[in-house]
Structure 1
Amino acid sequence: MKKDAPCPSHGHSSSISPHHFVGPYHSSNPSPARSQAARMGSATPRERQPYVPTPEQIQLANERKAKRIVAKMQQASAPTSPPDYSRWILPRKWLPVSSPSTPAKTRVTIMTWNMLAQCLVRGELFPGSDCLKIKDREQMLAAEILNYDADIVCLQEVDRLDALLPRIHDTYDHIYASGPGKLHGCMLLYRRNRFEKLTSKVVCYDEEALTQTDGAQKPGATRRTNNIGLLAALRFKESSLGFERNKGCLIATTHLFWHPRFTYERTRQAFILLRTIQSFRSELHLQSWPVYIGGDFNSQPTEPTYSLLVGQALLDTQRAELETSRVVHVSIDPQVGVPGADGSVQQSEDNDENENEGRDGDDNNQDPIIANSRRPTTSDGLPSVRVLESVFRDELQGSLRSMYDAAHLTTDTFGQRHALSSGRKGGSEAMWTSFTPLWRLTLDYIFALNGVEDNEAVEPRVLSVLAPHTTATLEPGLPRKGICASDHIALAAEVEW
């Protein structure tokens, strides 16, 4: 059978050419007259003429096209509803603190959040969690950042930038930095339609001396931690709500050393951050600009680091805590060896990258000397606790003010779960900022440092804060789908100045 011969069972060709159309009004066999004309050559196929629309048809087509263009423009310019992130996280409401000034002043919303780096996720640290895999966390992480519409976002434990940045790029520009050898870092986000970056700076705490101590031969660190602070000067864009060109703010974020027993090192790092901020602002001649610091300070309001940051005198118990942790770790002095009960050298139980372990502050090792550490000598450059306290008081131009503590919240506060002595600050901090089955703590804060203009303080005023999650909501612990992708809770404050 030929390839194009009719198939006996179907009555027509299995391959239909354009000139051999079989349809309801056409026979599959040509008529005798048509066959005869073809044989005689008396007929030729009629050429198809190009279609030329009439003027009326052209006008109608143009009118329809114009209507489509107008409809698209109207759709693009129409106000759109904000994205609904509630399918990914549990959104929180804003709590009003004070009314905005009239006439309106400069107003900014600042957020801070420890995202829980994927490289630090361990199943044994977060028992029962249903969102430890990155595929379950990616959308939740972006939703938490975008949901509260902050102008500036301070982030810690940031990794997987290739997955995060495309989701937030339309809204934010970013500055990222990490310590030497760290697999995660700190990041500042700022709304691209409001701010432009003047400059930024990274401070590596391991390389900075706390004070110039007589006879010191080392920077004065108790332990090598690779922790950093990240600073930036942000100026309002000229088109941003009519703000003056020379207005802006300084912003900083940090992640202080995590180990619960190294209180002295955390306090040392906090002082170096504040000193760097002061010199950074002075070098740029921006003393009139306020400073906002958001971060994971790994310190609760009862601890000496927090007290010194907010300008409080230390309690005797806090001084004792600092003195106990004023040591030199083997990471600073490799010759350090602390004999164990059998005369052997104790091995370190911790790893710099296992930053979630031990956050409950209940370190099983309660020896007078921290494992793998020794008491300092003059050459180590570690100032006494009294000197450390005095440099906070004397060398810093004013103390920090916590935005949550200044809001004087009455529910879900730190003071409701821990009684503070009369006059002590920190009672209105969030009840929890890190909440898991293994630890439940308040570690994260948003601080402000006043600017000074014409010898008068430029003091930020809190307008509202993001409500803390309730304990019932956080049970049995984070991370959890539909609640939060991190073991930490985001904080945010709207301020004006």
Structure 2
Amino acid sequence: MSEAVSASSSSQGAAAGGKKVKQSKRPSPEEIEAKRRERAAKKEKEAADKAAKEAELAAAIAANGKIPNGHLNEHGNVLFVPRDWASVSQAKEKSASAKQKVRVVSWNILAQGLVRRTLFPGSDCLKFKDRSVGLTAEFSSRTGHGWDVGCFQEVDRMDVHGETLDKDGFSYVYEKGYRQKQHGLLVAWRRDLFGESAHRRMTIDLDAESVAAPSEPVRTACSRVTRNVGLFVALTLRDSANGDARDKPGIVVATTHLFWHPMHAYERARQSGILVRRLHEFRKELGAEWQDAPCILAGDFNDQPHSATYHLLAGRKLTPHCHEEVSMSSVVHKSIDERRERGGVSVGFAEGTTEVARNLPSTKAVAPSTDSDAVEEQDQQNAEEDAEEQGEEEEREEEEAEEEGGEPDDRMLKNCRAATKEDALLSMDELLQLHDVARPRPGSADTQGDPGEGTSAHLGSAYGLHYGHISDPSEEGNFFGSPERGRERWDDPDWTPETPNCHTGDSTEPMWTIFSSLFCLTLDYIFMLPKVETSTEARAVPSYPTVTRLLRTHRTETLQPGVPRKGVCASDHIAIGAEIEL
């Protein structure tokens, strides 16, 4: 019995011992080496693919400054509707292939501080968290329109936009002009083309600028305090070979945002004339070597191509409508009288707001009570800020009244009085003279008489001159003067789908540059100052910089029912652009 038990135990032990025996799964040296080769090959392929993509990206950026499919996010969703740069057929004969070409864009990006739901009913991207992704994608040159020089209006949130520009390799100048203003103007440029800093820059206060010659007494002829400014920048082209600045200048660019109120046509015409004069003088002050440099004035002019402002800028024959709107608005707002009571100074104008850190805090500083001079100085600053804030509040109230459909008084604009001789507003003849850089400023000793045939010099519009010469495909039917142009204002009681375009004509400005759900208009332009000519024969036909391409503008079906809208455009305005030969 003991032997059987012993045998059984031995058998169980052997079985138990058998369970503990395992096959070795350790790879052989050959297998290890094969795995290493596989991993190395995979890494090599990934590196090659990455290098190929980077090379493709670099080639694309070198060709047009853009990242392919930059309008898509990582999931393939559309952030904005992209557009191409279309060739101008006339430019092929004039263009010199060896010359540097620069793409200039202008865009009112809609300041977040000005967004109101009453103005954009139905929009799905009014909060900045909803707007910012699409706005940044289109604003960025690398993912947006591949621009080299940008002129932007209604710019706030510089913490976001400044970071985008720095990342893309752009330098910039940002100016609000007034300490407490919510938004400002921005001019940005590609550093590898134009260097780190501007050759020269200037900011002007349009309220305080004189329309008279420097030798004459100051005459602002201002009808209303607006706090609008102009920003001028001269950029020197860099030598691509060694990175040093060339002796040859690059380009002069200026941007502005003219007064918004639709009934104040006179003030916009005055402002545009000052900008033309100051830009012309700015280029002259740069020296003889700059006189052939392209000189651009781009921005939001808050007036359409049938307006007096546009006709004066472009040197077109004034229509009865132009005369009427200037005459009706040649009145004086109460803000002018209030400014005179303060000694005729503009409240709060402070040049040099480029750095974000210079934005003042919302609360006013408290002066130390022990220092009477400091107290007096702080009281003065606080009083100026109070006056400025009061002016902004009145402007907001007027904007809201416009948005709510308030009817203007046909006899007199709100808070305005009839102009007197002491106000010294400009006549229509003087406005014509102010916009013509071939003539001296109004009031100069040598301005009497007709300047003569062929001696005028006005700005030329990049789109107005060339958009009608776009091909493959043509932009026919997408002009301000096209019969297909529809309703401008949603509350127009007389409009029907059969109503013809009241602006039908030869204008080839874009059909729309602003398209909200309440109103659709053409307000944004890229103007060019004529080249300096010394002979009367040469001045007979103005010579402008060669425009080789234009950024196509959206058609009505893309913009309906209005922007800002996700996947289309994050602003109510659309960007416009011109490729110009240096």
For the aligned pair, the TM-score class normalised by the smaller chain equals 0.7 to 0.9
- State the 1:114 CA deviation: 0.3
- State the 1:334 CA deviation: 3.6
| Kept in 1: contact 2:235–2:251 (CA 8 A) | yes
For each residue in 1:414-472, what CA deviation from the matched residue of structure 2 results, as whole angstroms up to 9, or x when unmatched?
001345587xx6x1011011111211110001111133378677631222211111111
Separation in structure 1 between the aligned mates of residue 214 and residue 329 of structure 2, nearest angstrom = 19
- SS of residue in 2 equivalent to 1:79: helix
1:481-496 alignment, distance < 5 Å: 481-496=566-581
- Matched with 2:529 is 449
| Kept in 2: contact 1:194–1:240 (CA 8 A) | no
- AA in 1 matched with 2:177: G
Which structure would you say has the larger Rg?
Answer: 1
- Is 1:377 the equivalent of 2:420? yes
For each residue in 1:209-268, what CA deviation from the matched residue of structure 2 results, as whole angstroms up to 9, or x when unmatched?
223699988622111110011010011111179995413110011000000011000011
- Matched with 1:150 is 147
| Kept in 2: contact 1:289–1:458 (CA 8 A) | no
- SS of residue in 2 equivalent to 1:447: strand
Q: 1:391 aligns with which of 417, 434, 438?
A: 434
- Is 1:78 the equivalent of 2:82? no
- AA in 2 matched with 1:85: H
Moved more, 213-222 or 428-437: 213-222
| Kept in 1: contact 2:308–2:322 (CA 8 A) | yes
- Matched with 1:195 is 194
Seen in structure 2, the aligned counterparts of structure 1 residues 103 and 113 have a Cα distance that, compared at 3 Å, is closer
| Kept in 2: contact 1:261–1:363 (CA 8 A) | no
- State the 1:96 CA deviation: 2.0
- Matched with 1:405 is 464
| Kept in 2: contact 1:224–1:332 (CA 8 A) | yes
- Is 1:139 the equivalent of 2:141? no
| Kept in 2: contact 1:173–1:189 (CA 8 A) | yes
Separation in structure 2 between the aligned mates of residue 453 and residue 241 of structure 1, nearest angstrom = 33
- Matched with 2:409 is 366
Separation in structure 2 between the aligned mates of residue 481 and residue 256 of structure 1, nearest angstrom = 28
1:57-456 alignment, distance < 5 Å: 74=51, 78-80=55-57, 82=68, 84-86=70-72, 87-98=78-89, 100=92, 101-145=95-139, 146=141, 147-171=144-168, 172-180=170-178, 181-196=180-195, 197-211=198-212, 219-239=220-240, 245-285=247-287, 286-334=290-338, 351-353=394-396, 364-393=407-436, 394-395=439-440, 398-407=457-466, 408=468, 409-416=475-482, 417=485, 418=501, 427-452=507-532
- State the 1:115 CA deviation: 0.5
- State the 1:353 CA deviation: 4.6
Separation in structure 2 between the aligned mates of residue 395 and residue 363 of structure 1, nearest angstrom = 41
Seen in structure 2, the aligned counterparts of structure 1 residues 170 and 328 have a Cα distance that, compared at 3 Å, is same
- AA in 1 matched with 2:225: R
Separation in structure 2 between the aligned mates of residue 137 and residue 402 of structure 1, nearest angstrom = 31
- Matched with 1:45 is none
Separation in structure 1 between the aligned mates of residue 544 and residue 257 of structure 2, nearest angstrom = 25
Seen in structure 2, the aligned counterparts of structure 1 residues 460 and 356 have a Cα distance that, compared at 3 Å, is farther
- AA in 2 matched with 1:439: F
Separation in structure 2 between the aligned mates of residue 361 and residue 227 of structure 1, nearest angstrom = 24
- Matched with 2:559 is 474
Separation in structure 2 between the aligned mates of residue 353 and residue 445 of structure 1, nearest angstrom = 25
| Kept in 2: contact 1:215–1:379 (CA 8 A) | no
| Kept in 1: contact 2:118–2:403 (CA 8 A) | no
- SS of residue in 1 equivalent to 2:56: coil
Separation in structure 1 between the aligned mates of residue 103 and residue 242 of structure 2, nearest angstrom = 15
- AA in 2 matched with 1:117: A
Separation in structure 2 between the aligned mates of residue 103 and residue 94 of structure 1, nearest angstrom = 17
Task: Report the RMSD for the aligned CA atoms in angstroms.
Answer: 3.6
| TM-score, length of structure 2 as denominator length | 0.66
| Kept in 1: contact 2:312–2:431 (CA 8 A) | no
| Kept in 2: contact 1:186–1:253 (CA 8 A) | yes
Separation in structure 2 between the aligned mates of residue 193 and residue 349 of structure 1, nearest angstrom = 39
Separation in structure 1 between the aligned mates of residue 297 and residue 185 of structure 2, nearest angstrom = 12
Separation in structure 2 between the aligned mates of residue 69 and residue 443 of structure 1, nearest angstrom = 49
- AA in 1 matched with 2:320: D
Q: Name stretches of at least 5 consecutive residues in structure 2 with no aligned partner.
A: 1-19, 22-32, 58-66, 73-77, 341-389, 442-455, 469-474, 486-500
| Kept in 2: contact 1:264–1:322 (CA 8 A) | yes
| Kept in 2: contact 1:92–1:466 (CA 8 A) | yes
Separation in structure 2 between the aligned mates of residue 465 and residue 361 of structure 1, nearest angstrom = 36
For each residue in 1:375-409, what CA deviation from the matched residue of structure 2 results, as whole angstroms up to 9, or x when unmatched?
11122121222222233233487211111111214
- SS of residue in 1 equivalent to 2:135: helix
- State the 1:149 CA deviation: 0.5
Separation in structure 1 between the aligned mates of residue 221 and residue 213 of structure 2, nearest angstrom = 9
Of all paired residues, the percent bearing the same amino acid is 38
Q: Name stretches of at least 5 consecutive residues in structure 1 with no aligned partner.
A: 1-23, 26-56, 337-346
- AA in 1 matched with 2:574: I
- SS of residue in 1 equivalent to 2:553: coil
- Matched with 2:471 is none
| Kept in 1: contact 2:302–2:523 (CA 8 A) | yes
Deviating beyond 4 angstroms after TM superposition, the runs of 4 or more aligned structure 1 residues are 64-77, 212-218, 240-244, 347-350, 353-363, 419-422, 453-458
| Kept in 2: contact 1:138–1:164 (CA 8 A) | no
Separation in structure 1 between the aligned mates of residue 424 and residue 404 of structure 2, nearest angstrom = 27
Seen in structure 2, the aligned counterparts of structure 1 residues 358 and 436 have a Cα distance that, compared at 3 Å, is farther
- AA in 1 matched with 2:56: P
- AA in 1 matched with 2:294: P
For each residue in 1:463-495, what CA deviation from the matched residue of structure 2 results, as whole angstroms up to 9, or x when unmatched?
221111111111111110000111101111112
Moved more, 189-198 or 81-90: 81-90
- AA in 2 matched with 1:155: F
| Kept in 2: contact 1:218–1:380 (CA 8 A) | no
Separation in structure 2 between the aligned mates of residue 261 and residue 475 of structure 1, nearest angstrom = 27
Seen in structure 2, the aligned counterparts of structure 1 residues 118 and 311 have a Cα distance that, compared at 3 Å, is same
Aligned length: 428
Separation in structure 1 between the aligned mates of residue 128 and residue 205 of structure 2, nearest angstrom = 29
